[in-house]
């Protein structure tokens, strides 16, 4: 689609998707199956292993089912069998009734992020994804847009900004919007092969610090940690040493997992959230995923909402003859929901990161006294989402 304009001789509508992550790939799949010709521009020269796990909640799994990929993901995922929140001694503060959660909403599954990306990439024609293509400028004038990149220029009927929290599309077309804001804590992520995976997952809350454990289907374990810290701070002794310093005195199997981790597998990122946008669309441009509503990871909904965005965008475009009117409907559908979940996620993160003993003690007491049914009920707004009908065209034989 480079050097191509809308209404070209291709005979179908064309979409340029900037960003080849979960949201961008899912969007391309959904649009491709609805008859669009799609081009994904991805800066990375290749896709290597991404050392993080991912919990797919029932709403995200339903979005994958709508794309026809749910069964493939389940085959490479592990259904979570036990979870909740503990204190640093290992005492349960709140246990998730996983059986009831599954009955009410559907199962929660854990998957290696790299495996999900692989499934998404394989669902697309190889020519759709253009890696090693760095976008340098995005300009729009009414319904028309132009994307300039290292391989030339691209135009089409639809531009999708799926390029993450530091989105160039958002910065170019929403220049007055505030930058992402630091949430006050940093996070470490690592995949560990300790010889056997733990029998349960969940989070452990301390005083201004947290650890999460997510067993994965391949026998490895995804471990993440979070701690209140100044923005941009890094450990002079290495990030694995910092994790061990902070968390090795906590309950089993945290020390054993950290002992089995390797330094080069640890990633550290400060946590940011995007202030709410007044709209996710402009002309024939739409934002989705972190580009539209980057949030703290405290509800584990970031990737799930990006999958929802992708399915909803394609379905809405199929239901409207004009791209601009479809995007108005997409914005109306997605903005209120995603920003509500972002607010809830930020609130949970704030409470989880309380560091003063009196406040943290009251928090832990409230968690212990709260019935499991009430905790599940609080998930309703996020997990009850159902996908719109995706009018997919038959795949060529």
DSSP states of 39-82 as a string?
Answer: EEE-SSSS------EEEE-HHHHHHHHHTT-HHHHHHT-EE---
CA atoms lying within 13 Å on the CB side of residue 33: 21
Would you state the pLDDT for residue 199?
85
Whole-angstrom distance, CA of residue 25 vs CA of residue 251: 39
Q: 195 and 218 in contact (C-beta within 8 Å)? A: no
5 pLDDT more than 50: no
Would you state the pLDDT for residue 48?
61
Question: Are domains 14-81+112-180+274-383 and 181-272 of this chain identical in fold?
Answer: no
Q: pLDDT by residue (tens digit) across 312-355?
A: 999 999 999 999 999 999 999 999 999 999 999 999 999 999 99
Q: Summarize the confidence of residues 272-300 as an average pLDDT.
A: 98
Q: Summarize the confidence of residues 360-372 as an average pLDDT.
A: 96
In this predicted model, which residue has the larger pLDDT, 83 or 36?
36
Residues 6+ apart with CB under 8 A from 178: 275
Q: Summarize the confidence of residues 73-90 as an average pLDDT.
A: 93
11 pLDDT more than 60: no
Q: Summarize the confidence of residues 161-168 as an average pLDDT.
A: 98
What value does the CA radius of gyration of the chain take, rounded to a whole number of Å? Answer: 21
Question: What 3-state DSSP class applies to 299?
Answer: helix
Q: Summarize the confidence of residues 390-396 as an average pLDDT.
A: 63
Would you state the pLDDT for residue 217?
94
Residues 6+ apart with CB under 8 A from 87: 93, 204, 205, 206, 364
- CATH fold group of domain 14-81+112-180+274-383: FAD/NAD(P)-binding domain (3.50.50)
Would you state the pLDDT for residue 187?
98
In the chain the first and final C-alpha atoms are separated, in Å, by 24
Place 81 in a pLDDT band, splitting at 50, 70 and 90.
confident
Q: 73 and 191 in contact (C-beta within 8 Å)? A: no
7 pLDDT more than 70: no
Query: What share of the chain has pLDDT > 70, as a percent?
Result: 95
Q: pLDDT by residue (tens digit) across 172-210?
A: 999 999 999 999 999 999 999 999 889 889 999 999 999
Tell me the domain boundaries of the chain. Answer: 14-81+112-180+274-383, 181-272
Query: What share of the chain has pLDDT > 90, as a percent?
Result: 88
Q: pLDDT by residue (tens digit) across 127-151?
A: 999 999 999 999 999 899 999 999 9
Would you state the pLDDT for residue 394?
52
Residue 136: how many other CB atoms lie within 10 Å: 10
Among 132, 103, 106, smallest CA distance to 42 is for 132
Q: Summarize the confidence of residues 345-366 as an average pLDDT.
A: 98
**pLDDT averaged over the chain?**
93
- CATH fold group of domain 181-272: D-Amino Acid Oxidase; Chain A, domain 2 (3.30.9)
The maximal CA–CA distance of the chain, rounded, in angstroms, is: 68
pTM: 0.95
Q: pLDDT by residue (tens digit) across 102-117?
A: 999 999 999 999 999 9
């Amino acid at each position: 689609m480079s050097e191509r304009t809308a209404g070209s001789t291709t005979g179908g509508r064309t979409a340029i998707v900037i960003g080849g992550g979960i949201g961008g790939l899912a969007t391309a799949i959904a649009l491709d199956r609805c008859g669009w010709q799609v081009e994904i521009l991805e800066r990375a020269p290749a896709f290597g292993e991404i050392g993080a796990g991912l919990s797919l909640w029932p709403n995200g799994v339903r979005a994958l089912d709508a794309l026809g990929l749910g069964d493939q993901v389940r085959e490479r995922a592990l259904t979570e069998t036990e979870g909740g929140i503990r204190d640093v001694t290992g005492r349960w503060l709140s246990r998730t009734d996983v059986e009831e959660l599954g009955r009410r909403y559907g199962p929660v599954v854990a998957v290696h992020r790299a495996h999900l990306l692989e499934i998404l990439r394989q669902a697309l024609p190889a020519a759709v994804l253009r890696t090693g293509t760095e976008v340098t400028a995005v300009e729009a004038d009414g319904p028309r847009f132009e994307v300039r990149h290292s391989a030339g220029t691209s135009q089409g009927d639809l531009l999708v900004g799926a390029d993450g929290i530091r989105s160039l599309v958002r910065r170019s077309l929403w220049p007055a919007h505030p930058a992402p804001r630091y949430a006050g804590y940093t996070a470490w992520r690592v995949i560990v092969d300790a010889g056997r995976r733990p029998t349960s997952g969940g989070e452990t809350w301390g005083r201004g610090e947290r650890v999460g454990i997510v067993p994965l289907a391949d026998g490895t374990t995804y471990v993440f940690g979070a701690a209140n810290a100044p923005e941009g701070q890094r450990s002079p002794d290495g990030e694995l040493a910092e994790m061990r310093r902070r968390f090795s005195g906590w309950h089993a199997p945290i020390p054993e997992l950290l002992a089995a981790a390797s330094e080069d597998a640890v990633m550290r990122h400060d946590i940011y959230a995007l202030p709410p946008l007044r709209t996710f669309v402009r002309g024939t441009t739409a934002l989705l995923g972190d580009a539209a509503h980057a949030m703290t990871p405290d509800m584990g909904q970031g990737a799930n909402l990006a999958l929802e965005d992708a399915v909803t965008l394609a379905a809405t475009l199929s239901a409207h003859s004009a791209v601009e009117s479809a995007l108005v409907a997409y914005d109306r559908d997605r903005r209120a929901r995603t920003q509500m979940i972002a607010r809830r996620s930020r609130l949970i993160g704030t409470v989880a990161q309380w560091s003063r003993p009196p406040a943290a003690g009251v928090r832990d007491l409230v968690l212990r006294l709260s019935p499991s049914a009430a905790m599940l009920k609080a998930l309703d707004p996020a997990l009850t989402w159902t996908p719109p009908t995706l009018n997919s065209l038959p795949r060529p034989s």
